[in-house]
Every structure is written in C-alpha cells, then in structure tokens.
Amino acid sequence: MGWSARDRDASIGEIAAVVGGAALLTGSWIVVVLRDDVPPLEQRVFAAVNGLPASLWSVLWTPVQLGSFVGSVAVTGATAAVTRRRTLTLAVLGASQAAYWSAKGVKRVVRRGRPAHLLVDVAVRERTTGVGFVSGHSAVAFALATVLAPELPRRARGAPLVLAAVVAGGRVYAGAHLPLDVVGGIGMGVIAGVAARWSLGLGGVGVPRRDEGVMVR
C-alpha cells in the first residue's frame, strides 16, 4: 500500500523531531559534561525564570505535576478512558515510562547538581532530592505531548506542546532544574515519544487502526 501525502509529511516531521530531540539532548549533555560551572547565559536564563513572582507557583504547581510519575499514569488512564484506543494508550504508557526511567539513568551518569547546589540566591519552591541533569518532568511531559499531539484535531495540536513547555519552564521556576537540564529532558522526551509511535505503528496523523476504538476528533 502506498503512502499518502499526509503520511509522508508526518514521517518527515517525525524524523525531524527525532533529529531535533537528539541535538537537544546531545548538545546539552556535552556542555554540562565539559563545564564544571554553570555557563553565564544559562545563569541569566535561570535567574530570569526563577525570579518571577512567587504567586505564580500556586497556578503552575498542578500542570507541573503532569511530568511526574503519577501524572504520567493519570494521563495514560485518561487516554484509555477517552479514546478507547489500545495502541495509543500503550504508546502513551511506553513513551512516558521510557522517558521517566531513561532520565533517571542519565542522572546517575552525569550527576549534575541542583540549582541550589551550584548557584546562590535560588528560590526553591519545591523540595527535590538527587541530581539535576536531565529533567525527568520535562522528559515525561514532552514524551506525552509528542505521542498525543498528532492525534488531536489540527487546531488543538499545539496544546499538549504548550502544556509540556509549561511543565519544563515550571521546573526552572521552582528552582528544581537549570535550563540545560530542561533542554536535555525535552530532547529525551521527544525521542521517546516518536519511538513509541513508530514501534506501535502510529504512522500518519490522527489515523486509528481498524482494530481500535473511536478517536476524539
């Protein structure tokens, strides 16, 4: 069976996403490993985001939790309940778990400290343990967004990515991660999301397999 123009466009977009994700992950990893300090530009970006009004945390806390382990399970359950599509649900589960556990593995290798250990005058709004690179919340959020965005109506496809960006930015705002931690997490999440779609045959955009249930359009 030949590919439609839409399938080809989706395939090209997915390849571009993998290349971009790999560039983000690899580039940030290299910078972090080669430097013993926090680069000046990264410090400035962190200070600008972390220094935003403290009142924002009450608004950001809930969406930021979507990048947690519990949040990923909740999104998986919601996907199953709303779409009744087994393959899509498995892709959401696989991508989020791959991102979550891969981030933990990278943390053990890189062992970059949290912002409060590397910088002064850090506003810590959420208690954290362990090390910083990469951001697991960012990885999970972008893995979920990468799997789900192509399945939504065209006008709504940006919503999961915007929400994932809120999660990533929220981790910097909370004082839990430095910007390069988040950049690496974004790259890892995109790779995990595309890999899950490919491995489960979710080619094209918004095209369910015949053996699956309905899809919300």
What's residue 8's pLDDT? Answer: 54
CATH of residue 47: 1.20.144
What are the φ and ψ backbone dihedral angles of 157, each rounded to 5 degrees?
-65, -25
In a domain, 40, yes or no: yes
- Report pTM: 0.88
- Domain range for 89 is 5-199
Kindly report the number of other CB atoms within 10 A of residue 44's CB atom. 11
Counted domains in the chain = 1
Residue 152 is given by DSSP the state S
Domain presence at residue 205: no
| Proportion of the chain above pLDDT 70, given as a percent | 88
214 within some domain? no
| Domain-embedded: residue 46 | yes
Q: Produce one character per residue of 8-25: b if its CB has 16 or more CB atoms within 10 Å, e if not.
A: eebeeebeebbeebeebb
- pLDDT number for residue 7: 53
Judge whether 211 lies within some domain: no
Residues 185 and 135 sit within 8 Å (Cβ to Cβ): yes
Residue 187 lies in a domain: yes
Report yes or no on 12 lying in a domain: yes
Confidence of residue 214 (pLDDT cuts 50, 70, 90): very low
Average pLDDT over residues 65-80: 97
Reported residue count of the chain is 217
